[in-house]
Amino acid sequence: MSGCIIFIQKDLHITEVQQEVLVGCLSFISLLGSLAAGRTSDAIGRKWTIGLAAAVFQAGAAVMTFSPSFAALMAGRLLAGIGIGIGIMVAPVYISEISPAALRGTLASFPEIFISFGILLGYVSNLAFSGLPDHINWRVMLGAGILPSISIAFVLLVIPESPRWLVMQGRLADARGVLAKVSDGEEEAQERLAEIEEAARATGSGKAAWRELLRPSPVVRRMLITGLGVQFFQQATGIDALVYYSPTIFRDSGMTTESQLLAATVAVGFSKVAFIVIAIVLVDRVGRKPLLYISTVGITACLAVLAASLALLKHGALPGGAAVGLAVLTVCGFVAFFSVGIGPINMVLSSEIFPLRLRAQAVAVGFGLNRMASGGVAMSFLSICRAVTVAGAFAAFAAVSAMSVVFVHLFVPETSGKTLEQIESLFGGVGVASGELELGGAARLEHKRLVPNASSS
């Protein structure tokens, strides 16, 4: 949409307010998709909920492609947003539930890398089709998004259902068969099945899960603080402002031609994809928390430099060429630090920290908050820039990002290498604010695993 909006303005003659609504509404409407996905995935399974998400998105993309007016374009955007909301919630849940603990962080990062790759393809298609007539080019850009999602129809023919969902449905033989395919041997499959069965015994109805989330125990409250906090800060630091409005940012720094603006956004897309690959390699080796530290500190520094350079340019204290270079460098740096940490790890943590009985509903609430923050940023960015300048907007984002560093230090435990059931014990056994206690709790968990008959102290 970041490149399409340039040509939609020319073709449909939309106002700045309509532009903000068109861009930001997707995040808000995807909130409904995320909330609906929790119950849907519990009812029909994670696998077929993924298929539903793809079908709804494809319908929305088709409506946008052939929209004769702004109202029709909005209808298609809203429909696509519901599909995105469903998919962005259920995909990491499915992956975390089917993955062994040693690979869960890496595999649960895959949605983020493909989101980043999709954004890059969007930027490339914007540049490739920008030479077409203004009443056609943006339609081709939006229509191209239908093609990749069609592949999900073929994927659904080969991927298995989540073993945890199968256990919840009482289909133990099917769950055992799936675990045999995705585990290193029959013994590991049996151990994982036993853990899932034990956790599933505590699983109540969907209504009971919502009641527990509304009146959480101290353990669940810690989980919610961690899960919801990471979801909020991922978007509140301004990633969608850069993704959707990067041409506006580069124009404010001194770029003039449409081809320069679109080429610069392609560079942003490449940075996002390249560093998400690094995150996938490191997330299970280095751990979640160290990468979150690197990510949030780096984002804060990039936002501060971007705000300072734009402010200096406005006051004539910085040459135009230097401002353009700093803008491209800091925006690319922002998405790089985002992609190496809080971007993918947000999905990893959200899908692994909650117990089975609450997972679908809690993840849905988390992604709902994520979408609200995203929509708030996307729908207000141009108005904020008009009120306090682009530099002022990014100075505010830098302040929020600095708060995210403190949040990671106080409330995010290290979950790397632990089973989903061990993570639940970690939150219940120690305070999440103390690094030493976290390590002690992890050691006790490992001791219990190795020496089942050891007495607790």
Query: CA quadruple 348, 353, 357, 361: dihedral positive or negative?
Result: negative
Long-range contacts of 367-370 (CB under 8 A, 24+ apart): 367/31, 367/34, 367/85, 367/88, 367/89, 367/231, 368/31, 368/34, 368/35, 369/228, 369/231, 369/232, 370/34, 370/231, 370/232, 370/234, 370/235, 370/346
Residue 449 confidence class, pLDDT cut points 50, 70, 90:
very low
Residue 346 zone, left/alpha/beta (φ > 0; ψ -120 to 50; rest): alpha
Structure tokens at 11: 């073709």
Q: Is the pLDDT of residue 399 over 90?
A: yes
Please tell me the predicted confidence (pLDDT) of residue 224. Answer: 93
Higher pLDDT pick, 453 / 353: 353
Q: Give the model's confidence band at 445: pLDDT under 50 very low, under 70 low, under 90 confident, else very high.
A: very low
Beta-carbon contacts of residue 437 (< 8 Å; ≥ 6 apart):
430, 431
Closest CA relative to residue 101, chosen from 422, 423, 430, 418:
418
Does residue 444 carry a pLDDT above 60? no
Q: CA dist 279 to 112, 261, 284, Å? A: 10, 28, 9
Tell me the per-residue pLDDT of 275-318, one tens digit each, with 9 for 90 and over. Answer: 888 887 888 788 889 999 999 999 999 999 999 988 888 887 77
Q: What is the pLDDT of residues 163-183, one digit of tens each?
A: 989 988 889 899 999 888 888
Long-range pairs for 211-217: beta carbons < 8 A, 24 or more residues apart:
212/357, 212/358, 213/358, 213/361, 213/362, 213/365
Percent of the chain with pLDDT over 90: 24
Q: Is the pLDDT of residue 426 over 80?
A: no
Query: E strands along 102-144, which residues?
Result: none
Query: Is the pLDDT at 431 greater than 50, yes or no?
Result: no
Q: Are 229 and 410 in contact (CB under 8 A)?
A: no
Q: pLDDT > 70: what percent of the chain?
A: 91
- Here the tokens at position 292 are 């979150």
| Residue-level pLDDT at 352 | 81
* 366 vs 457: which has the higher pLDDT: 366
* Mean pLDDT score of the chain: 83
**Positive or negative: CA dihedral 77, 83, 88, 89:** positive
Residue 151 burial (CB count, 10 A):
10
Q: What is the pLDDT of residue 418?
A: 77
Q: Which is more confidently placed, 304 or 30?
A: 304
The predicted structure's pLDDT at residue 204:
55
The tokens for 253 are 């720094």
Residue-wise pLDDT tens digits, 83-97: 988 988 888 888 888
Report the chain's C-alpha Rg in angstroms.
23
Per-residue pLDDT reduced to its tens digit, 185-237: 788 888 888 888 877 775 555 677 788 888 888 888 989 999 999 999 999 99
Q: How confident is the model at residue 432 (pLDDT cuts 50, 70, 90)?
A: very low
Give the pair of three-digit tokens for residue 361. Answer: 């509903």
Mean of the pLDDT values across residues 319-345?
87
Per residue in 224-256, pLDDT (tens digit) is: 999 999 999 999 999 988 878 887 788 887 777
